[in-house]
Copies of this chain bind each other. A is one copy, B any other.
Amino acid sequence: MKAKKIGLADTTFAKVDMATIAIEIIRKKSNAKIIRYTVPGFKDLPVASKKLIEEDNCDIVMALGMAGKAPIDKECAHEASLGLQTAQLMTNKHILEVFVYMDEAKTDKEVYQIASNRTLKHALNALALLKGKTELSKYAGMGKRQGKEDEGPYKVR
C-alpha cells in the first residue's frame, strides 16, 4: 500500500507543542508521511486543515489546538469546531479535532498530560481510520476516551 499522508495543523497559541507529540507516535507506529502546517490560533485551523487535504493531498488531518479559560475562548473553540465540521464535509476526509481546554485540570502539569494523552490517542485513531471503516468497530460502544482513562461500557447485564 502506498504510504498515507497525515496532515498536522497546529498553533502558536497553544502552550504545548502537540504536533511534536503526534509526529513521534506516528513515526513509531507507521510509515505515513507527515505534513505540518502551523497557524496562529485555532480559528485558523479549519482552512489550514482543508489546505492540507486539498493542496498537499493529505488523507487525514489532526487539528491540534488549545483553548484559554475565558468564556470568549470557548466561543472561539466552538466557531473553530463548526469550521472543522464544514471542512470535513467539503473534502470527505476526517479532520480529528484534538482540542484541549486550559481549565480541564487544575495544574499546568495535568493540562500538559491531558494534551499529551489526547494527542497520542487521536494519532492512533487517525492511523486506525486510515485502515478502513471497520478498523475501530471492535471498540464501538466501549467508552473510549482521549486525554483521560477510558470509561468502558455500561455494565448493565
On A, residues with C-beta under 8 Å from B are 10-20, 35-40, 43-44, 46-48, 50-52, 54-55, 72, 74-76, 78-90, 92-97, 101, 108-109, 111-112, 122, 125, 129, 133-137, 139-146, 151-156
Q: Say yes or no: A154 contacts B47, CB within 8 Å.
A: no
Q: Say yes or no: B78 contacts A156, CB within 8 Å.
A: no
Residue in chain B with minimal CB distance to A13: B144
Distance A48 CA – B132 CA, assembled complex (angstroms): 11
Q: CB-CB < 8 A to A80: which residues of B?
A: 85
Residue in chain B with minimal CB distance to A88: B47
Distance A95 CA – B46 CA, assembled complex (angstroms): 11
Total identical chains: 5
* A-B pairs with beta carbons under 8 Å apart, 8 shown: A12-B143, A13-B143, A15-B153, A17-B140, A19-B137, A38-B137, A52-B133, A55-B92
**With A16-B153, A111-B154, A156-B112 in contact, is A43–B85 under 8 Å at CB?**
yes
Q: Say yes or no: A12 contacts B47, CB within 8 Å.
A: no
Q: Say yes or no: A19 contacts B141, CB within 8 Å.
A: yes
**With A87-B89, A144-B13, A153-B16 in contact, is A133–B82 under 8 Å at CB?**
no
Q: Say yes or no: B94 contacts A85, CB within 8 Å.
A: no
Distance A53 CA – B146 CA, assembled complex (angstroms): 28
Q: Say yes or no: B154 contacts A16, CB within 8 Å.
A: yes
Q: How far is the CB of A4 from chain B (nearest CB, A)?
A: 16
